[in-house]
Structure 1
Amino acid sequence: MDLAGMERSSLVKYLVRQLEHFFPDGQHDLSFRIEKDLDQALARLEVCIDAVKIWRKGEFDYLHSSQYTIFLYFLSNTIWRSRQDKRLCTKLFYLNKALNGIDCFYEIEMPDIFFIGHSVGIVLAKADYANYLVLYQNSTVGKNHGIAPKLEEGVIMYPNTAIIGDCHVKARSVIAQGVSVINKDTMPNSYVFQSNSGALEFKPCSKNILGDIFRHV
C-alpha cells in the first residue's frame, strides 16, 4: 500500500514520536514492537480503505483523520491478536482517544470493512459487528446489564445515535440522527425513527445509501 507522503520507516518513527509525547515513560523499544505487526495491520487497513468509494484505492494518508483512526485501531487489535502486548495496545488505544475522540478498545473485533465519517464522540463496546458498518460522530454501541447488541451487515449510525443492550439490528438498518435503540430489534433494510413516545418506527429504504459509501455494495 502507498503511504501518501511518507515511507514505511517514517510512519513508524512518526507513530513512536506521538506515543512518546503522550506517554513519556522512558520505554525505548516501541519501534521494534510496532514493526512486528505493522505489515499485517496495514494489509487489514488496505482492505478497508479500498472498499470506501471516496478514498483512493491502495493509498493510506496518515493526515486523513478517519483513515488514521482506523489505522490505530487495526494496529492495536493486530498486536493484541498476535502477542497480547497489553501496554503497547493500551497506549495505541489512548492515543486514538486523545487524537480522534474515539473509544474503541483494542480487544473489540471490528469488521474487516467499516467507515467512520467523523470519529469524535464515538464509543464502541464489545459487541457483534459486521461488514459495511457506518459510524458518524457521537454514535454509541453499548451493553446493558452485560448484554451486548448484535449488528448485521450494512448498519448505518448517523450522528447522536445509540444501540444499547439486547438488540438485534438487522441488515441495512439506517438509524436516523438522534435515535436510541435500546433492548429492541430493528427491521431489515429500513430507516429507524423514534416517535415522541420513544417507540421505534420503521420505513422501508428506497435508496441504496451503502452504495454511496462503499464499492461493490
Structure 2
Amino acid sequence: MRTSLTKAELTRYTTAQLNHLFPDNKLVDLNGHVALVTEALDRLEFCFKHCTLKHYFNGEEVIFNHLHSDHYVMYLWYLANSLWRKEANANLCNKLYYLNKTLHGLDCMYNTQMPDIFLLFHCSGTMLGKATYADFFVALQGVTVGSQKGVYPVMDKGVSLTAHSSLIGNCKIGKNVSVSAYTNIFETDIANNTVAYRSKTGEVIFKPSATSYAQTFFNVPIE
C-alpha cells in the first residue's frame, strides 16, 4: 500500500490530534498500540483493494492519503474498531470516535458491526446506527440509519444510501438496493435489485433496476 505518511508518522500524527483535541490530562500514545494501527491499515487496504476509484486503488496498489478526508475517516473508524475488539479501551476508543465526529461529521460508534468492505463519501452529518450491514455498503453525506423502538434495519450486500436518505426501524433491505437522495424509508422492506426514490409529490417509488449505484464503486460483482 502506498501511504502519504509512514506508519510511524501516521501514529504520531493521530496521537497529536487526539491530545490536542482532548487536553484532559489523560494523554494517549498510539505508539503503545502499533499492532492495532497495523491492523487498521491492513483492513483499510483490504477494503480499498475492491474499489474502482483510482485514488483508492490504481489497479496495482492501494493508495492511502491522510489528507484525503474520505480515506482518513475510514482509517479512524477501523482503528477505533480494532482497538475496541482487541483491547476494549473505552477511553481511547471514545476519543477516536469523537475525533472522527469532529473532523468528518461521522457518527458511527466503534462497536457498530460494519462490514469488511464499505465506503463513506462526503460523510458530514452521516449517522450509522447499530443496524445489520453487509459488504459493499456505500453511504454519502447526511445519511441516517436508525432504530424504531429498538429495532434496526437489516441490509444485504450492495446497499447504497445517497445524500440525505434514511433507513429507520424494521426494514429488510435486499441485495443491490439503491436509495436515492432525500428518500426516507421507514419500516418498509425493499426487494433485491431495486432503486427507491422520492417523487416530486413526496411519494416513495420502488423501481426494479438492473444496475446498482454501489456496483459503480467496486471492481468485483456484488453477488
TM-score with structure 2 length normalisation? 0.92
The equivalent residue for 1:88 is: 92
Contact map agreement 1:80 1:89 (CA 8 A) in 2: yes
Q: CA deviation at 1:197?
A: 7.2
On the 8 A contact 2:158/2:215 being kept in 1, the answer is no
Letter in 1 for 2:143: S
Answering whether residue 47 of structure 2 is matched by residue 48 of structure 1, we say yes
Whether the 8 Å CA contact 2:131–2:154 is kept in 1: the answer is: yes
* Contact 2:193 2:212 (8 Å CA) reproduced: no
Q: Is the 8 A contact 2:15 2:28 kept in 1?
A: no
Query: Is 1:181–2:180 an aligned residue pair?
Result: no
Identity of aligned residues (%): 32
- Separation in structure 2 between the aligned mates of residue 207 and residue 82 of structure 1, nearest angstrom: 38
Change over 3 Å in CA distance of 1:7–1:200 after alignment to 2: same
Counterparts of residues 16-55 of structure 1 (less than 5 Å): 16-54=15-53, 55=56
Between 1:198-207 and 1:48-57, the stretch displaced more is 198-207
Please give the alpha-carbon distance, in whole angstroms, between the structure 1 residues aligned to 2:191 and 2:116.
Answer: 24
Structure 2 counterparts to residues 26-175 of structure 1, below 5 A: 26-54=25-53, 55-56=56-57, 57-175=61-179
Q: Which moved more, 1:199-208 or 1:107-116?
A: 199-208
Superimposed CA distance per residue, residues 1-46 of structure 1 (whole angstroms, 9 cap, x where no aligned partner):
3322x11111011001100110012234423343241111111111
For 2:3, the equivalent position in structure 1 comes to 3
Shift of 1:196: 6.7
1:154-205 alpha-carbon deviations (Å, 9 max, x no partner): 0010101000000001111110111111111012101112357765421111
The answer for the alignment partner of 1:207 in structure 2 is 211
1:51 alignment partner, SS class: coil
Residues 193 and 208 in structure 2, CA contact (< 8 A), matched pair in contact too: yes
Distance (whole Å) between structure 2 residues aligned to residue 40 and residue 142 of structure 1: 29
Distance in 2 (alpha carbons) for counterparts of 1:166 and 1:28? 41
Which has the higher mean CA deviation after the structures are superposed, 70-79 or 44-53?
A: 44-53
Secondary structure at 2:152 match in 1? coil
RMSD (Å), alpha carbons: 1.6
* Distance in 2, Cα, partners of 1:149 & 1:80: 23
Is the Cα contact below 8 Å between 1:2 and 1:59 reproduced in 2? yes
Residue-by-residue CA offset, 1:76-131 (whole Å, 9 max, x unaligned) = 00000001000000000000000001101001011111111211011011110000
Instruction: Note the C-alpha offset of 1:66.
Output: 0.7
Runs of 4+ in 1 over 6 A off after TM superposition: none
| 1:105 alignment partner, SS class | coil
Structure 1, unmatched stretches of 5+, are none
Amino acid at match of 1:12: T
Whether the aligned pair in 2 keeps the contact of 1:194 and 1:201 (CA below 8 Å) is: yes
Please give the alpha-carbon distance, in whole angstroms, between the structure 2 residues aligned to 1:47 and 1:159. Answer: 26
Cα distance between partner residues in 2 of 1:212 and 1:173: 13
